[in-house]
């Protein structure tokens, strides 16, 4: 199985987290799942939507979602790498880093919700359901 760069980054962050006293690996974040879903749908839009203009609009929205989530992951990775510095660090420093991490996640998910609304407007109910079923 080949790993993507961001996956290797998460493995490294998880290893650092465990080494600094954590006992559990982080669960998958909502932005990770959203990025994976958008990426899997980009190339399949033409199979679901016959109208070329709408298909291009929908594909562009999925690409935008994927880019938004990728940018969020990069920002989060920077915060996590900073946490992987010398142990121990103060509780206040750790809490501040996680607040920034959660703020990035929340901001991305708010933007994601807006993009999902645009997707629903650009597709019929049946088209959206078919695309949504793609995992």
pLDDT digits (tens, 9 = 90+) for 7-41: 445 455 444 444 444 444 445 567 777 777 777 78
Say whether 23 sits in a helix, a strand or coil: coil
Using DSSP's 3-state secondary structure scheme, residue 13 falls into helix
* DSSP category for residue 51: -
By the 10 Å C-beta count (0-12 exposed, 13-18 middle, 19+ buried), 90 is classed as exposed
Q: Are 87 and 96 in contact (CB under 8 A)?
A: no
Residues of the chain with pLDDT under 70: 1-29, 87
pLDDT score for 16: 46
CA atoms within 13 A on the CB side of 120: 6
Q: Which two tokens stand for residue 69?
A: 């989530």
Q: What DSSP character marks residue 84?
A: T
């Amino acid at each position: 199985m080949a790993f993507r760069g961001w996956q290797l980054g998460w493995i490294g962050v998880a290893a650092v987290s465990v080494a600094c006293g954590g006992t559990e690996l982080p669960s998958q974040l909502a932005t990770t799942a959203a990025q994976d879903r958008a990426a899997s749908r980009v190339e399949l839009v033409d199979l679901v939507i016959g109208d070329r203009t709408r298909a291009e609009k929908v594909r562009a929205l999925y690409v935008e979602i994927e880019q938004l989530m990728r940018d969020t992951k990069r920002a989060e990775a920077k915060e996590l790498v900073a946490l992987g510095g010398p142990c121990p660090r103060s509780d206040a420093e750790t809490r501040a880093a996680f607040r920034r991490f959660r703020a990035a996640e929340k901001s991305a998910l708010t933007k994601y919700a807006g993009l999902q609304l645009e997707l629903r407007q650009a597709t019929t109910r049946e088209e959206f359901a078919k695309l949504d079923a793609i995992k």
